């Protein structure tokens, strides 16, 4: 399988990853590899993926915001994540003692996916454009054209990054740093 390397690489989460993999596969999902992580799908639709961080590993449910969370276990990674939610684990014991709960969450995610339910996402136009970038868009039509030619995801990435700076000076520096990227049709991380 193309994701096998993920489970055999040397990582502190290797045992946890293996247990999560067994649980997900037992629910009948198909394993693929997306974004460098094992991703589990139903009819080519992403349902859940396994990933790890410094302090935890997690199951990321793509439509987690639509799931019932009676246990209060689903976590929104950051304020800007709209639909995905995580179940986080700090050790293999947490997974082993929660198998039935984890399985119920996976099965609910599958039902949501099969029903075709999708969270209505905030439109890019609803994001605030910081003054410093508005000024550039107003005074540099080539940047405005290039920015609005970017995918909505790339536009949001820039808007969130520029807006995150608390000081105007920092916002200006960020905008200036990425002008050529925008003109080249690239996203923040390209």
**Both 102 and 18 in a single domain?**
yes
Percentage of the chain exceeding pLDDT 90? 76
Residue with tokens 């920015």, as numbered in its chain: 147
φ/ψ region of 107 (left if φ > 0, alpha if ψ in -120 to 50, else beta) reads alpha
Highest mean pLDDT among 69-83, 89-103, 109-123: 89-103
How many other CB atoms are found less than 10 A from the CB of residue 6?
20
Quote the number of domains for the chain. 2
**Both 178 and 86 in a single domain?**
no
Distances (CA, A) of 49 to 15, 36, 53, 106, 109: 16, 10, 13, 11, 12
**Both 146 and 57 in a single domain?**
no
pTM of the model: 0.74
Q: What is the pLDDT of residues 118-135, one digit of tens each?
A: 877 777 777 889 999 999
> Can you point out the beta strands (E) in 62-177?
85-89
For the chain, what is the mean pLDDT? 93
What's 105's domain CATH number? Answer: 3.90.1150
**Both 74 and 10 in a single domain?**
yes
DSSP 5-70: HHHHS--TTHHHHHHHHHHHHHTTPEEEEETTEEEEEETTEEEEEEEE-SS-EEEEETTGGGS--T
Q: Does residue 168 carry a pLDDT above 90?
A: yes
**Both 145 and 97 in a single domain?**
no
Which pLDDT does position 20 carry in this prediction? 98
| Of the listed ranges 16-20, 69-73, 123-127, 136-140, the one predicted with least confidence | 123-127
Q: What is the pLDDT of residues 73-92, one digit of tens each?
A: 999 987 778 889 999 999 99
- Report how far residue 96's alpha carbon sits from residue 83's, in angstroms, rounded to the nearest whole number: 27
Q: For residue 70, what are the domain limits?
A: 4-114
């Amino acid at each position: 399988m193309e994701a096998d390397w993920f489970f055999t690489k040397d990582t502190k989460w290797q045992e946890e990853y293996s247990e999560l993999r067994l649980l997900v596969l037992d629910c009948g999902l198909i394993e693929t590899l997306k974004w460098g992580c094992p991703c589990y799908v139903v009819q080519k639709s992403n349902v859940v993926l396994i990933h790890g961080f410094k302090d935890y590993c997690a199951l990321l449910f793509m439509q987690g915001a639509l799931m019932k969370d009676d246990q209060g276990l689903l976590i929104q990674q950051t304020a800007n994540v709209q639909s995905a939610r995580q179940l986080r684990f700090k050790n293999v014991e947490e997974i082993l003692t929660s198998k039935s709960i984890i399985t119920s969450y996976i099965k609910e995610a599958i039902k949501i996916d099969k029903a075709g339910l999708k969270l209505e996402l905030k439109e890019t136009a609803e994001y605030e454009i910081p003054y410093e970038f508005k000024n550039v868009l107003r005074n540099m039509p080539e940047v405005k054209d290039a920015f609005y030619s970017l995918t909505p995801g790339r536009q949001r990435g820039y808007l969130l990054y520029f807006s995150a700076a608390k000081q105007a000076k920092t916002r200006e520096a960020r905008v200036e740093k990425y002008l050529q990227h925008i003109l080249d049709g690239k996203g923040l991380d390209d």
